[in-house]
């Protein structure tokens, strides 16, 4: 039942966003569409940071994970602390673009979806999360 409900909401969202305008980000070819989570690679995040080091990067892992290593200047808000997460994102400017990551990409997708539902207009999920970011840095 939950899967059907999810698919129904997803379909409604896709239909309602069909006419939404995409917005270019600091990375050529990476666009965001209001109401839709955009997925990117860690290489695209690195390009975004190289183009503009003041972009809004959001780390949704636990504080312990964050302390163990994080992307420079990332703001940490733990998605697993659901009520705290909802309170903290309300303090953010909903008109900025947020580049969201976690350890592997699963929690960040949940967080990005939560942000879209909270009225954020431009949210990007970093696929592979900090694991992929760390692996990229070692290459």
Active site residue 102: yes
For the chain, what is the HEC assignment? CHHHHHHHHHHHHHHHCCCCCCEECCCCCCEEECCEEEEECHHHHHHHHHHCCCCEEEECCCHHHHHCCCCCCCEECCCCCHHHHHHHHCCCCCCCEEEEECCCCHHHHHHHHHHHHCCCCEEEEECCHHHHHHHHHHC
User: Residue 14 domain-assigned?
Assistant: no
pLDDT digits (tens, 9 = 90+) for 89-138: 999 999 999 999 999 999 999 999 999 999 999 999 999 999 999 999 77
Q: Give the range of the structural domain holding residue 93, as residue numbers without chain letter.
A: 21-138
For residue 64, the domain's CATH number is 3.40.250.10
Query: Which of 102, 110, 115, 123 is labelled catalytic?
Result: 102
User: Residue 61 domain-assigned?
Assistant: yes
* Helices 106-117 and 82-89: angle between axes, nearest 10 degrees: 50
pLDDT digits (tens, 9 = 90+) for 36-83: 999 999 999 999 999 998 999 999 999 999 999 999 999 999 999 999
pLDDT digits (tens, 9 = 90+) for 3-28: 554 444 444 454 444 445 777 666 66
Total number of domains in the chain:
1
User: Residue 41 domain-assigned?
Assistant: yes
User: Residue 67 domain-assigned?
Assistant: yes
Cα–chain center distance at 52? 17
User: Residue 3 domain-assigned?
Assistant: no
Q: CA 85, 87, 93, 99: dihedral to nearest 10 degrees?
A: 0
User: Residue 13 domain-assigned?
Assistant: no
- pTM of this structure: 0.81
User: Residue 9 domain-assigned?
Assistant: no
């Amino acid at each position: 039942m939950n899967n059907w409900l999810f698919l129904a909401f997803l379909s409604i969202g896709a239909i309602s966003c069909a006419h939404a305008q995409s917005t270019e980000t600091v990375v050529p070819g990476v666009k965001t569409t209001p109401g839709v989570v955009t997925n990117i690679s860690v290489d695209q995040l690195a390009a975004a940071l190289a183009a503009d080091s003041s972009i809004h990067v959001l780390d949704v892992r636990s504080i312990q994970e964050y302390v163990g290593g994080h992307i420079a200047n990332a703001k940490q808000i733990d998605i697993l602390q659901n009520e705290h997460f909802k309170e903290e994102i309300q303090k953010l400017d909903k008109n900025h673009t947020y580049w969201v990551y976690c350890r592997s990409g699963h929690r960040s997708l949940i967080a990005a979806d939560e942000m879209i539902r909270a009225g954020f207009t431009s949210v990007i999920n970093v696929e592979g999360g900090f694991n992929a970011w760390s692996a990229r840095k070692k290459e």
